[in-house]
Amino acid sequence: MQNFILDTNVLLHDPTAIYHFKENHVVIPLKVLEEIDQFKRELSERGRNARTISRSLDELRKQGRLSDGVALESGGTIRVIFADKNNPFSVGLSADDLILTLAMDLQKAQPDTRCVVVSKDINLRLKADALGLEAEDYENGKTREADELYTGQTVMDADSEAIGFFAREGHAVIPGMEALYANQYVTLRNPDDLKQTMLARYDAETHRLVKLLTISDISPIAPRNREQRFAMDALLNDKIKLVTLSGKAGTGKTLLAIAAGYHQVMETKYYKRLLVSRPIFPMGRDLGYLPGTIEEKLDPWMQPIHDALSLIVHTRPGMTLNKKGADFLASNPLIDVEPLTYIRGRSIPNQFMIVDESQNLTPLEVKTVITRVGHDTKIVLTGDLYQIDNPYVDSLSNGLSAVVEKFRGEPLAAHILLTEGVRSELAEKAANLL
């Protein structure tokens, strides 16, 4: 068995982390509990996580003294201990120093037992390494790199006859197709003539490749490349209720999602309302510190959404440029832009819902959002896994990555990774070079 010493940020990121170390010893320094206590009154997700871990430890305390160790269902144990018995509250020492001191004491007392510091703080892991201690990031079992995440698309070889049949009939069965996931997008390619290609989607219900939806009348937004064509098919397909779009800046994630939502609310009227949300980081921050009405407080955070709506609305036939995006929203009851702060407890039926910048959400926050979805609602999550502002998540542990992996192969979900920038030549260069 091994000793795993948990940092505060691990428990704030995942309050169930203590149960994920199998038949090993989980150690929580007393200073970590003091830090968690500072967050428990927050109304944010971080505050809820702090309260959750405190309640969990209190329940475990009923089974025995945490200082002596309490058995976990995973087969391991959990202990709450402090580094300096003469100074249990460790006045004058930082939390990082106390964690490292405790780790060194454990390693010295149990030289034959592996001791690992688990933290999402890079600097703490570097300090531990300098002191000869083992340190790991908390990934809840993930060992992949972000580049290895599911892309939602692939390329398959097919002969000229198969491609011709697909073009005529709109469907086909191709060898190797059984390895595809539901709603995975495919580029059929003739290896003898690379110019002969067709775009398809794997339909798990019929177990065959099917043609993409015909896209028309969503001017001025039109797919500019193959990836955007895949994305638009998923956005306009009524059977796909969850769409995740990831990619670097300038690939058109938000614009495509809003264009598809606007079309299905205002033109086809399939959904009753377009709801666009984005986290005001950190999720749950009190907007009362900003002056003005709620609309004025939200305006700086929602400006990217207003820009996209302005482009979509004001370049359509018959529309004029006499209103900004925010003004148009204020006068249109069918379109709403709001923060995720107050979404807990809501039910959202028959709407086209977009959650922008979802890479800044934790898996638990994304779960909270998706479980608000009501009957006949479609939800779209967009984000860039390499532009994360939340210090408690990274490119693998954020909510968007979690949804992509957990819903891989589900018939009601689809994912597309967008890699080709279309905003401008300069924006594409900046995204690749900087």
Delineate the domains of the chain, giving CATH numbers in brackets: 3-136 (3.40.50.1010), 146-211 (2.30.130), 219-433 (3.40.50.300)
* Of the candidates 113, 112, 117, the residue with the CA atom closest to the CA atom of residue 129: 117
Amino acid 434: pLDDT: 63
pLDDT of residue 147: 62
Mean pLDDT, range 26-49, rounded to an integer = 85
Whether the pLDDT of residue 376 is over 90: the answer is: yes
Query: In sequence order, what DSSP letters do the residues of 373-402 get, joined into one string?
Result: B-TT-EEEEEE-TT----TT--TTTSHHHH
Cα–Cα dist 252/236, whole Å: 16
Q: Which residue type, as a one-letter code, is found at position 147?
A: D
pLDDT in tens, 258-288: 999 999 998 899 999 999 988 865 444 445 5
The yes-or-no verdict on residue 214 having pLDDT over 50 is yes
The verdict on pTM exceeding 0.75 is no
Inform me whether the pLDDT recorded for 422 exceeds 50: yes
Lowest mean pLDDT among 3-7, 104-108, 342-346: 342-346
Q: In what order do the strands lie in the sheet with 193-203?
A: 153-157, 185-190, 193-203, 208-211, 171-172
Closest CA to 395 of 248, 297, 205: 248
Would you state the structure tokens that stand for residue 60, as one six-digit string? 């475990």
Helix (H) or strand (E) holding 103: helix 95-109
pLDDT of residue 277: 87
**Is the pLDDT score of 166 beyond 90?**
yes
DSSP state of 268: S
Predicted local distance difference test score (pLDDT) of residue 284: 45
- Cis peptide bond upstream of 220, omega within 30: yes
